[in-house]
């Protein structure tokens, strides 16, 4: 079959790598892709939110399935667009319809959903311009630190954690009155701070059945020791040692099953990945957020550990036959280290030549922000996160050691990486 994969990050390179291993795949198209995805298919210069353009490409290339990497097109309704158009209705989309993608697209929607279905999460209330003073009152009922969340999509930057009440009041007011996150902060969720350690749990669902993928831990902060501003993610490891069988049983019973039952009872059809951003507080799991897609850079650690045929799994999602499938996993550890552009997540340079990829041995290289110059064959940086290096190991330390050996072999001006991925788990 012919598959169109949407996205251009390390996640999509890892998915392209995996999909291309399936005997069920004929042609892979990636839009827009990066210099890495070119190894596995044809990059198409499409805009992810121009659904008419995507439809034309689907018809032209006889695409039989669309796999959506990032959240934007899902929250904007790409799956609904396909379902409503007789020309492409029969092409399955792996990724939820808009209503279901609201689990990520609106923090308020997600919180209300969790409340309706008794899913453990931080206590919260949602406010808008007319209820600012109620929000200030609510802040006074909480203890520091204070968690403020823009309701809508804010490219992973919509959460502010404030140490003092004064700071929380002023940030909260600015979010609503000065639209610090644009329309995304027309509504603001204030919630209780949960102290604990985070992890990412993923399922693949056909709307009725689900399969749990290997869990991962992501390192979001730019600086060593989890300091400095948040990024898209600086590295990941899988499995997560503290997510033992008992903890994962709690996750399934208290979070995954009630989420699936909630979707079913509310008649929200969900086909695709659900990413549970969880926090372990003492011994119990709580939901920090839902995402309607796989994580990046979690995918770069999780997908290499999946040994089942991903195209076959996606076909089962489309036909609602996932109950007949099994997700087999490699028991070894994977560790992913992200190479980023100097200055990221603030201002950074693009267009720097990347050298040394051919020197890498014993690790996988997944490109993120890279582009191939077709005139001279140079691969140059094209984003904040540039490349992910993933390795297998019998232990987490072995996997990390191998990734860090290979990280040294890749060079570009301004290269930066966190030297301490996994530091909190050893
Ligand atoms: P989110 O965009 O919802 O993933 O939030 C970004 C980050 O803020 C999370 O990864 C957590 O580190 C932190 N965070 C969000 N909500 C809470 C909370 N209620 N308690 C503690 N930390 C939180
Ligand atoms: N790594 C976190 C995310 O993809 O949202």
Output the domain CATH number for residue 212. Answer: 3.30.470.20
- In 3-state terms, what secondary structure has residue 295? coil
Say if residue 289 is in the same domain as residue 207. Answer: yes
Any ligand 1 atom below 6 A from CB of 108: no
> What digits encode the pLDDT tens for the residues 268-320?
999 999 999 999 999 999 999 999 999 999 999 999 999 999 999 999 999 99
pLDDT tens digits for range 334-393? 999 999 999 999 999 999 999 999 999 999 999 999 999 989 999 999 999 999 999 999
Q: Give pLDDT, residue 111.
A: 94
Q: Is the pLDDT of residue 156 over 80?
A: no
Residue with CA at minimum distance from ligand 1 atom 8: 159
289 lines ligand 1 (CB under 6 A): yes
34 with 380: CB under 8 angstroms?
no
* 66: confidence class by pLDDT, cuts 50, 70, 90: very high
Q: Is the CB of 147 under 6 A from ligand 1?
A: yes
Q: Are residues 139 and 170 in the same domain?
A: yes
Stretch (H or E) spanning 316: helix 310-318
Tell me, yes or no, whether 26 lies in a domain: yes
Most distant CA atoms of the chain, gap in Å? 61
Predicted local confidence at residue 238, as pLDDT: 98
Query: Dihedral of CA 169/174/177/181: which sign?
Result: negative
Is the Cβ–Cβ distance between 354 and 379 less than 8 Å? Answer: yes
> How far from each other are the two terminal CA atoms of the chain, in whole angstroms?
43
User: Does the beta carbon of 288 lie inside 6 Å of ligand 1?
Assistant: yes
> Could you tell me the pLDDT band of residue 182, with boundaries at 50, 70 and 90?
confident
Q: How far is the CA of 101 from the centre of ligand 1 (A)?
A: 19
Q: What is the CATH number of the domain that holds 63?
A: 3.40.50.20
Cβ atoms of 306 and 203 within 8 Å: the answer is: no
Helices (DSSP H) in 123-164: which residue ranges?
Answer: 132-141
Reported as a single tens digit per residue, the pLDDT across 84-129 is: 999 999 999 999 999 999 999 999 999 999 999 999 999 999 898 8
Contact indicator for 3, 63 with CB cutoff of 8 Å: yes
User: Which residues does residue 367 pair with via DSSP β-bridges, in sequence order?
Assistant: 387
- Centre of ligand 2 to C-alpha 340, Å, is 15
User: Could you tell me the CA-to-CA distances from 13 to 27, 196, 198, 422 in Å, in that order?
Assistant: 15, 31, 25, 23
Instruction: Please give the distance of CA 90 from its chain centroid, rounded to a whole number.
Output: 27
- Find out whether the beta carbon of 191 lies less than 6 Å from any atom of ligand 1: yes
Give the C-alpha separation, 219 to 196, whole Å: 14
Pocket-testing residue among 232, 281, 288, ligand 1, by greatest number of atoms within 8 A of Cβ: 288
User: Is the pTM of the predicted complex or chain greater than 0.85?
Assistant: yes
Contact 409 CB / ligand 1 (< 6 Å): no
Do 50 and 14 share a structural domain?
yes
The predicted model gives 417-423 an average pLDDT of 97
- CA pair distance 348, 337, nearest whole angstrom: 19
Q: Is the dihedral of CA 60, 64, 69, 74 positive or negative?
A: positive
Mark whether 184 and 206 lie in a shared domain. no
Ligand nearest to the CA of 297: 2
Query: Nearest ligand to the C-alpha of residue 291?
Result: 2
**pLDDT tens-digit map of 376-414:** 999 999 999 999 999 999 999 999 999 999 999 999 999
Regarding the beta carbon of 278 and ligand 1, being less than 6 Å apart is answered no
In the reported structure, the alpha carbon of residue 281 is separated from the centroid of ligand 1 by a whole-number distance in angstroms of 13
Q: Which ligand 1 atom lies nearest to the CA of residue 220? A: 10
Flag whether 223 is in a domain.
yes
How does the average pLDDT of the chain come out, rounded?
Answer: 96
CATH value at residue 181: 3.30.1490.20
The preferred substitution site among 11, 296, 338 for testing ligand 2, maximizing ligand atoms within 8 Å of CB, is: 296
Range of the domain at 367: 333-425
- Cα 194 to Cα 82: distance, rounded to the nearest angstrom: 39
279: left (phi over 0), alpha (psi -120 to 50) or beta: beta
Radius of gyration, alpha carbons of the chain = 21
Of 324, 343, 377, the position where a domain reaches its end is 324
Ligand 1 within 6 A of 220 CB?
Answer: yes
pLDDT value of position 280? 98
Q: Is the dihedral of CA 20, 22, 28, 31 positive or negative?
A: negative
With bands split at pLDDT 50, 70 and 90, how would you rate the model's confidence at 155?
A: confident
For ligand 2, atom 2, name the residue with the nearest CA.
Answer: 295
pLDDT digits (tens, 9 = 90+) for 5-55: 999 999 999 999 999 999 999 999 999 999 999 999 999 999 999 999 999
Q: Give the single-character DSSP code of 347.
A: S
Model confidence at 248, pLDDT cuts 50, 70, 90, reads very high
106, part of any domain:
no
Residues 47 and 79 in one domain: yes
Residue 175's pLDDT is 86
């Amino acid at each position: 079959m012919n598959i169109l994969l949407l996205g251009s990050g390390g996640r999509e390179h890892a998915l392209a790598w995996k999909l291309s291993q399936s005997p069920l795949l004929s042609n892979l198209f990636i839009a827009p892709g990066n210099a890495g995805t070119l190894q596995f298919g044809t990059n198409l210069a499409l805009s992810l939110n121009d659904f008419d353009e995507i439809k034309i490409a689907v018809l032209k290339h006889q695409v039989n399935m669309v796999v959506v990497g990032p959240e934007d097109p899902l929250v904007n309704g790409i799956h609904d667009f396909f379902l409503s158009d007789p020309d492409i209705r029969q092409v399955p989309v792996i990724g939820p319809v808009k209503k279901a993608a609201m689990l990520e697209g609106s923090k308020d929607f997600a919180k209300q959903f969790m409340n309706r279905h008794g899913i453990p999460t931080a206590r919260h209330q949602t406010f808008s311009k007319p209820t600012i003073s109620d929000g200030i009152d609510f802040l006074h009922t909480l203890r520091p630190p204070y968690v403020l969340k823009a309701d809508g999509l804010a490219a992973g930057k919509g959460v502010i954690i404030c140490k003092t009440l004064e700071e929380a009041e002023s940030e909260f007011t600015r979010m609503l009155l000065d639209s610090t996150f644009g329309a995304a902060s027309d509504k603001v969720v204030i919630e209780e701070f949960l102290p604990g350690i985070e992890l990412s749990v993923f399922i693949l669902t056909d709307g009725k059945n689900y399969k749990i993928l290997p869990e991962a831990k992501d390192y979001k902060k730019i600086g060593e020791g989890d300091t400095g501003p948040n990024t898209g993610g600086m590295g990941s490891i899988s499995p997560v040692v503290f997510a033992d069988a008992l903890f994962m049983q709690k996750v399934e019973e208290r979070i995954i099953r009630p989420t699936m039952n909630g979707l079913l009872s509310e008649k929200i059809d969900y086909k695709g990945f659900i990413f549970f951003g969880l926090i372990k507080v003492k011994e119990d799991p709580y939901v920090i957020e839902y995402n309607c897609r796989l994580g990046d850079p979690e995918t770069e650690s999780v997908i290499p550990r999946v040994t089942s045929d991903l195209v076959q799994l996606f076909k089962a999602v489309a036909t609602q036959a996932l109950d007949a499938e099994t997700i087999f996993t490699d028991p070894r550890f994977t560790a992913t280290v992200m190479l980023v552009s100097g200055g990221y997540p603030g201002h950074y340079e693009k267009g720097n030549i990347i050298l040394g990829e051919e020197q890498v041995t014993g690790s996988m290289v997944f490109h993120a922000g890279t582009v191939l110059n077709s005139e001279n064959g140079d691969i140059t940086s094209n984003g904040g996160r540039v490349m992910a290096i993933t390795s297998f190991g019998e232990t987490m330390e072995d996997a990390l050691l191998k990734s860090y050996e290979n990280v040294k072999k890749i060079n570009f001006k301004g290269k930066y990486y966190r030297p301490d991925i996994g530091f909190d788990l050893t």
